[in-house]
Copies of this chain bind each other. A is one copy, B any other.
Amino acid sequence: MKNRQVAIAELPKERLTEAHFAVRDADIPAPGKGEVLLRTVLISIDAAARAWMQGATYRDAVGPGDAMPCFALSEVMESNSDRFQAGDIVTSENVWCDYNVLPAKKLTKVPDIRPLTHMMSVYGVAGRTAFHGLVGVGRPIAGETVLVSAAAGAVGCFVGQIAKAMGCRVVGIAGGAEKCAWVKDDLGFDACVDYRDPGMFKELKAACPDGVDVYFDNVSGQVLETALFLMNERGRVVCCGAISQYDKAGGTGPRNLPGLVVVKRLRMEGFIVSDFAREDAAATRALQTWVSNGQIKVIEDVVEGLENTPAALIGLLAGENKGKRMVRVGPDPA
């Protein structure tokens, strides 16, 4: 068994590049008392990883020499805990690596639903983030208009499909004509507007003739500023991410904040998926229902090979993925 890790060589000041990472060989420590040896199957590629490189967020900051943290799905190879046994499928905070030893208390056993990629996408953090953010924070009602940015992305593609299933008018924002067409035609959004289009505001206004009741914000920045102008009174802004800002130092905030929050009596609310852990079972049941009746298509973007994790993250930040991006490090267990 050979183990590799992908570590941070240098922290990025602005744009993230492959030069900020280095692949290194590493030992596979033997699991101690209460510990478990894991084989990485899938690594989740998330825009938030870029934020971790900017300083402490809801997790500690990372620095040069650290193996790059991530969320991963793994197979238990060897267990010194009576809570786990070889062959179990677990998720955890982990690092970009082939093998790792972690304390059993840091692992969550998940059902062995095949393909395992679904546990990373629709039934994983992406799908639950979409569900909890939209249903728990945004609280749309059938007939309302839901706007979602990064509509072709891991979370956005589910947000829009869930909102459609709930009876809302759904408008997406994505980058490029091809992606917008895909969001509309393949995902079934009512409309999708290209944020690179200089006429974005007019197009959004035309796509939302009754205004916007819920805006699910994955990007912040200029797109958020534009969306705020279209919000209806008592509208809700679900603050899920700020991908447009992760690759920048400094910058300015939307000029209409908090002015329009006051004038339109908006609610802007941030969350992380674990805030709604009590509702996870309900979320999974709802998602399974919509997947099985065809109202949700499971969109996944699987990159092969641990050595390609830096490129996979850099590409995600550049918006090249459709649906949930993950890296396959090893095969599904037999």
| A interface residues, Cβ below 8 angstroms from B | 51, 57-58, 217, 220, 224-225, 233-234, 237, 239-242, 245, 250-259, 261-272, 275
Contacts and interface: CB of A to CB of B under 8 A. Distances in A.
A139 to B, nearest CB: 13
A47 to B, nearest CB: 11
B259 A242 contact: yes
Interface centre among A220, A250, A265, A271, by most chain B C-beta atoms within 10 angstroms, is A265
Nearest to A263: B57
A261 B269 contact: yes
Q: Lowest 6 A-B CB distances belong to which pairs? A: A253-B253, A261-B270, A252-B252, A253-B257, A268-B268, A267-B269
Copy number in this complex? 2
Contacts of A271: 265
A268 B258 contact: yes
Given A253-B256, A255-B253, A266 B262 contact: no
A75 B254 CA distance: 45
Contacts of A250: 255
A58 B258 contact: no
A265 B259 contact: no
B241 A262 contact: yes
A233 B272 CA distance: 11
A294 B28 CA distance: 69
A217 B264 CA distance: 15
Interface centre among A241, A263, A270, A275, by most chain B C-beta atoms within 10 angstroms, is A270
